[in-house]
Amino acid sequence: MNKEELASFLRARRELLSPRDVGMVEGPRRRAPGLRREEVAQLAGMSTDYYAKLEQQRAPRPSTQITAALARALRLTLDERDHLFVLAGHNAPTRFERSDHVSPALLGVLDSLVDTPCLVQTDLLETLAMNPLAAALLGDQTRFTGLNSSGYLRWFLDPEERSIYPADTHEQHGRSHAARLRAAMAAGSDTARAQRIFSELNRQSPEFVRMWDLQEVAHRYDDCKTILHPALGPIEVDGQVLFTENHSQSLVVLTTRPGSTSRGKIDLLKVLGRQTSSLDSTPAQ
């Protein structure tokens, strides 16, 4: 671990970012350029004291998880991320096409959209980042780990995954998931991982097997759907999707028609957030 170079690099990258670059409110006039230390710590999910010690060359070596969180918080490119890992005394992550490192381009768009729910997903339906409005609408989908991080797997094996969608749409969603998983297995960012997801579903879910046997294949996102929010009821959204160049990640933006009842509910949800509702409760019908 090169403490001096690590401290300099973190400080330099922090000073290049403004609060608006990461979806934060600018606030009062600032004495110094860039983000404050506490803001980087908040984005990375660590204590301000530990982050400050990193910049002061007084902290122990950060773990690979913390290093990855810092790379995401500072909106580093893959080259910059790899450099950060080396400075922290770790081998740079192998650059498979699939990566949990969110594309800075997609993350930049996500940070700028505060009035519309949006999230970043892989082609295996793993949610890597969400803005607060998306988390309030859909629940925190970034909390899952392992193969369970794939929405394809959860759809067929975890009944809770379906609770925010009307029952009469479950067949459509299931077939779409099976078709998209088939596409990911054939030419996705991590075909080996897609195969493991398939194997688990093939072993545990007769419903998946039935839908898989339909031989449908598609990359298409379910662009029009109804979300059942537990406090606000049905909300109709249209999904607009922006892909990275290799299609391994996508930014899903959930829009509503201006002036519609659903738009009004999204505006209300922005105010309420998660204060008055929990997606663990039974959805409104």
Tell whether 169 and 247 lie within a shared domain.
yes
Query: Does some domain include residue 245?
Result: yes
pLDDT of 97 > 60? The answer is no
Tell whether 83 and 192 lie within a shared domain.
no
Tell whether 154 and 49 lie within a shared domain.
no
* Residues whose CB falls within 8 Å of the CB of residue 281, separated by 6 or more in sequence, listed in order: 230
Tell whether 112 and 244 lie within a shared domain.
yes
In angstroms, rounded to a whole number, what is the distance separating the alpha carbons of residues 133 and 127? 14
Tell whether 167 and 38 lie within a shared domain.
no
Tell whether 128 and 55 lie within a shared domain.
no
pLDDT of 146 > 70? The answer is yes
Tokens representing residue 16 in the block: 């290049």
Give Cα separations from 215 to 13, 32, 148, 208, 211 (angstroms). Answer: 48, 58, 24, 12, 8
Q: Determine the average pLDDT of the residues in 41-69.
A: 91
Tell whether 122 and 79 lie within a shared domain.
no
Which has more pLDDT, 278 or 39?
A: 39
Supply the range of the domain harboring residue 74: 3-87
Query: Does some domain include residue 152?
Result: yes
Q: Determine the average pLDDT of the residues in 192-206.
A: 95
**Nearest Cα to 219, choosing from 91, 86, 123, 118?**
123
The CATH number of the domain holding residue 135 is 3.30.450.180
Tokens representing residue 158 in the block: 């975890």
CB 147 within 8 A of CB 128: no
Query: Does some domain include residue 206?
Result: yes
The CATH number of the domain holding residue 26 is 1.10.260.40
Query: Does some domain include residue 284?
Result: no
pLDDT of 282 > 70? The answer is no
SS3 assignment, position 87: helix
Give Cα separations from 242 to 106, 121, 125, 145 (angstroms). Answer: 8, 10, 14, 24
Tokens representing residue 179 in the block: 């078709």
* Residues whose CB falls within 8 Å of the CB of residue 98, separated by 6 or more in sequence, listed in order: 122, 123, 124, 188, 189, 190, 193, 248
Query: Does some domain include residue 95?
Result: no
The CA-based dihedral angle spanning residues 168, 171, 176, 182, taken in that order and rounded to the nearest 10 degrees: 170
Task: Using pLDDT thresholds of 50, 70 and 90, give the confidence band for residue 99.
Answer: low
In angstroms, rounded to a whole number, what is the distance separating the alpha carbons of residues 203 and 186? 20
Query: Does some domain include residue 279?
Result: no
SS3 assignment, position 236: strand
Query: Does some domain include residue 218?
Result: yes
Tell whether 44 and 122 lie within a shared domain.
no
% of the chain at pLDDT higher than 90 = 46
Report the phi/psi class of residue 11: left, alpha or beta, with left for phi > 0 and alpha for psi in -120 to 50: alpha
Tell whether 119 and 58 lie within a shared domain.
no
Query: Does some domain include residue 283?
Result: no
Neighbours of 215 (CB within 10 A): 9
What is the tally of structural domains in the chain? 2
Q: What is the pLDDT of residue 281?
A: 39
Tell whether 54 and 161 lie within a shared domain.
no
**Nearest Cα to 97, choosing from 74, 124, 73, 117?**
124
Rounded to two decimals, the pTM is: 0.64
Phi then psi dihedrals of residue 66, to 5 deg:
-70, -40
SS3 assignment, position 156: helix
Phi then psi dihedrals of residue 179, to 5 deg:
-65, -40
Tell whether 205 and 142 lie within a shared domain.
yes
Tell whether 110 and 217 lie within a shared domain.
yes
Reported in sequence order, the residue ranges of 75-223 that DSSP labels E, i.e. its strands, are 118-122, 127-130
Task: Using pLDDT thresholds of 50, 70 and 90, give the confidence band for residue 165.
Answer: very high
Domain final residue, candidates 39, 57, 87: 87
Domain final residue, candidates 87, 112, 128: 87
Sign of CA dihedral 115, 68, 50, 140: positive
